[in-house]
Amino acid sequence: MGILIKNGTVVNADGSKKTDVLIDGEKIAKVGDKINATGHTTVDATDLLVMPGGIDVHTHLDMPFGGTVSADDYTTGTQAAAVGGTTMLIDFALQSQGRTMREAYDTWRKKSDNKACIDFSLHMAVTDLGPGDGSQGLREMEEMVAEGVSSFKLFMAYPGVLMIDDGLMFKVMQKAAKLNALCCIHAENGSAIDIVVAQMLAEGKTAPHYHALSRSPKAEAEATHRAIALADMAGAAVYIVHLSNAYALDELKHLQERGAKALAETCTQYLVLSIEDQMPGKSWDEAKFVFTPPLREKWNQKVLWQALTDGSLVVVSTDHCPFRFADQKSLGRGNFSKIPNGGPGVENRLQILWHYGVNGGWFTQEKFVDLCCTAPARVFGMEKQKGSIKEGLDADILIWDPNAEYTISAATQRMATDYSMFEGWTVKGNAAKVISRGELVVDNSTKPGKFLGTTGRGRFVKREANAGGMV
């Protein structure tokens, strides 16, 4: 007794085909024509697309930042993801300076215990290697890889909180190279940016608009170059997170052409939002769009879309890091540097990417699946379990209605924020049904926006160390 999805078009990164999919328990048992329906529950997918569930590799649930905590915990965050068609996310465990990675790992596993509603994994953000030569921290990296945490995040921004210096970063990269682990980099020159921030505040430039102006695209480009060059020296594979602008992209492409093992993602917001449209400097409302890197000038959008089509950017994530406008963003009224950095996005990634990417003519439905599902699984060491509609893989399946019109609004979203970055936008293309490890968890066609599974059913996924799929 399984679930048989009939009459749909199965879309994988390498091609589409009108065929059936049989789910047995938690796995995809069979993909093929005319599977006998006897004894199975049938789901009719006529005129619908049957795709792998989305994988968002960059979220921050229940994360302390700037004196508050991100608004979505593992329950609301994973339910919002599922409602939008995402069945797996990779969140960040943050090591506190002076503490161990193990402690950070345990803390984040506790945050997710009995709360996660879809499968998830963790990156480890390294801020400290311990006393002396750092051998304790480097040993811990081995332990983390053994736990299935095969990617390490390094911050080149936020001095005094999360930023590490180049020496520590290089040590981590050398160790990661030995372990085949992937180094994920927040690439911005935090020291230079902090000077600009202080100067702006001293000049009375305190509005949210100045957050964007204080973090130059060149500070991102410089750090992008430095991170990739150091990783190349260390022999490590590197993945630049939330690449936001053309200058940083130039550095990436230049070093990729010279053989560096460098990959990068961009995020939904940089593809469709801009300083001109969202942060022209007119109101406090613009605090809704304070995140890091900030929104860029509009001309960058086209360059990023192009980079997704030519393969220089391989993944689209969200950097979902939600804060409520009313009582959290307000911490930075009168001082943009105190506005909690981040925006809510996990629920809308697929809608935006489909509407502007596929309907907009930038790429095919297969490329959409690659950017949102298959490449994330490959780069982050879980392609044997997730990211494609293939026999033997987890039955994480998104049944997509390319003709469904949906208007995005904070009033109807599952994310726990009091605003949407895309308020009032109508998109064409939305999740109809979402299946997570063989269980129907969302049915937007009959119960829109509701999570139907039990809270806490999500499982931790151990990932392989495969150097971003580049070994």
Q: Where does this chain bind Zn ion (CB under 5 A)? A: 319
Tokens of 226: 């430095």
C-alpha pair distances (Å), 191 with each of 125, 246, 298: 19, 21, 26
**Least distance between Zn ion and beta carbon 59 (Å):** 8
Nearer to Zn ion, 319 or 396 (CB): 319
**Least distance between Zn ion and beta carbon 1 (Å):** 42
**Least distance between Zn ion and beta carbon 81 (Å):** 15
Nearer to Zn ion, 57 or 435 (CB): 57
**Least distance between Zn ion and beta carbon 290 (Å):** 13
Nearer to Zn ion, 70 or 430 (CB): 70
Nearer to Zn ion, 134 or 293 (CB): 293
Q: Name the CA dihedral angle for 174, 176, 179, 184, rounded to a multiple of 10 degrees.
A: -160
| Integer Cα distance of 394 and 388 in angstroms | 9
Residues in the chain: 471
**Least distance between Zn ion and beta carbon 246 (Å):** 21
Contact 381, 464 (CB under 8 A): yes
**Least distance between Zn ion and beta carbon 104 (Å):** 15
Among residues 238, 230, 158, the alpha carbon closest in space to that of 191 is found at 158
Nearer to Zn ion, 269 or 413 (CB): 269
C-alpha pair distances (Å), 243 with each of 220, 268, 303, 316, 323: 8, 11, 12, 10, 21
Q: Is 245 helix (H, G, I), strand (E, B) or coil?
A: coil
Contact 365, 100 (CB under 8 A): no
Nearer to Zn ion, 319 or 370 (CB): 319
**Least distance between Zn ion and beta carbon 89 (Å):** 12
The full 3-state SS of 330-376, as one line of letters, equals HHHCCCHHHCCCCECCCCCHHHHHHHHHHCCCCCCHHHHHHHHHHHH
Place of tokens 């879809």: 118
Q: Name the CA dihedral angle for 377, 383, 388, 391, rounded to a multiple of 10 degrees.
A: -160
**Least distance between Zn ion and beta carbon 384 (Å):** 26
Nearer to Zn ion, 319 or 418 (CB): 319
Tokens of 174: 């050398």
Among residues 130, 420, 320, the alpha carbon closest in space to that of 449 is found at 420
**Least distance between Zn ion and beta carbon 445 (Å):** 33
**Least distance between Zn ion and beta carbon 446 (Å):** 34
Task: Quickly count: other Cβ atoms within 10 Å of residue 311's Cβ.
Answer: 12
Nearer to Zn ion, 43 or 162 (CB): 162
Closest residue to Zn ion using C-beta atoms: 319
Nearer to Zn ion, 220 or 319 (CB): 319
Q: Is 440 helix (H, G, I), strand (E, B) or coil?
A: strand
Among residues 362, 223, 390, 368, the alpha carbon closest in space to that of 305 is found at 362
Among residues 381, 387, 377, the alpha carbon closest in space to that of 465 is found at 381
DSSP letter assigned to residue 163: B
Nearer to Zn ion, 65 or 368 (CB): 65
